[in-house]
Structure 1
Amino acid sequence: MSSHKFESLDEEVESILDQVTDKLECGVKQCKSKEEQKYLLRDVEQLLKDASNSLTEMDIEVKKAPVDYRNTMNSKILRYKDELIRHQQHYEQEKATHSRMSNRSTRFSSTADTDTFDAAIRKQIQDGTAVLERTSGSIARSTAIAAETEQVGTEVLGELGTQRETLSRTRDRLVDADGELSRSKRLIRSMSRHVVYNKILLVIIIILEIAILGGLVYWKFFMK
């Protein structure tokens, strides 16, 4: 069965992703200033990092879990990682939008040149691309683990099938042996009855011989 730590991490990741969803879909729109939006995006960034770290720990717990439960655990992790990617993309979009608006506001209020603004945008895009590449690599590793788990499960099922056939043959032999024992018991009971009958017959013969011998002695010594 899955570990207590995995279940705790599962609840933690689900709670974090719910918070991220609420902040990105509702919180950003409710921000009244760019500064408030900036702090909200920082919170989202930290939540995404916490979720990523928790998923890494969940991957470690999967490797410790029994083989029968790994497929279910890996499926749950993959679902969370897909959701994390979507939130990461949404976050990057909101962050880029906020950055553009901030830079645009600064540009209109100062003499900052266009090259600096473009460099900032390029950096944001590069950072977002790097995050997506890391997330994709994590998904690829999780997929490899799932494939390995499936292979192990197939091998275990094959082994169980072989053991089932062995047990079936053993059961058949036990049934045959039980039949032989039943026939042996009946034969022994029959032999026992014959032995008793023979003993009774032997006693009767002995008694008859003694009676005849007594009659002969009486006739020989007492009848004359």
Structure 2
Amino acid sequence: MSDVFERYERQYCELSSNLSRKCTAAAALDGEQKKQMISIVKTGIDEAESLIRKMDLEARSLQPNVKAVLLAKLREYKSDLNNVKTEVKRLSSGGNYLSARDDLLESGMADTLTASNDQKARLMMSTERLNHTGDRIKESRKTMLETEELGVSILQDLHQQRQSLLHAHNTLHGVDDNIGRSKRILTSMSRRMNRNKWIIGFIIAVLIIAIALILYFKLK
């Protein structure tokens, strides 16, 4: 999984837990103290929404199998944040709920905390599944590296064979045609390799520019 996403996720989970505690504390306050606490919670909600947007951008830049798991987690985070927003709206309209505050604390908040615990349990399960997916990705990357090493070894063997064919061209005049065809094949392979290198270099440059633009707009 992306280290950037994990960092944003930790920040969000800490902020979400803090907002839940502040909502519970605000429900027990009155007057100006309650207004100040609600204002603090609203500021925290804005920060949480910003973290969710950053996680969404990071998730969409990853591989499809990882992106699907991360987007599922984000839907749960958004649902959890919507619950906090609903609670803030309820607390903000305190004049309409002063007479029912005790019932809210005893029943409504209990239901909210229960739902929050259920969501946290689902998030833990999703995180565990994501960790398993990350392990599989690491194994796939290891296999890719081994394949790359095998490809380099094959290319070295081909280079040695080319040298042998060139030497045979100078000593065996009777097989000039066969050696010429082998040389043309190897030259064609070399051109394709060079062309592929340029293509890969171009793709890498485009990705670097795209990442730089994303970082620029994020920092901006």
Q: Kindly indicate whether structure 1 or structure 2 has the higher relative contact order, using CA contacts under 8 Å at least 6 residues apart.
A: 1
Same fold (TM over 0.5): no
Structure whose CA Rg is larger: 1
TM class, shorter-length: 0.3 to 0.5
TM-score, normalised by the number of residues in structure 1: 0.43
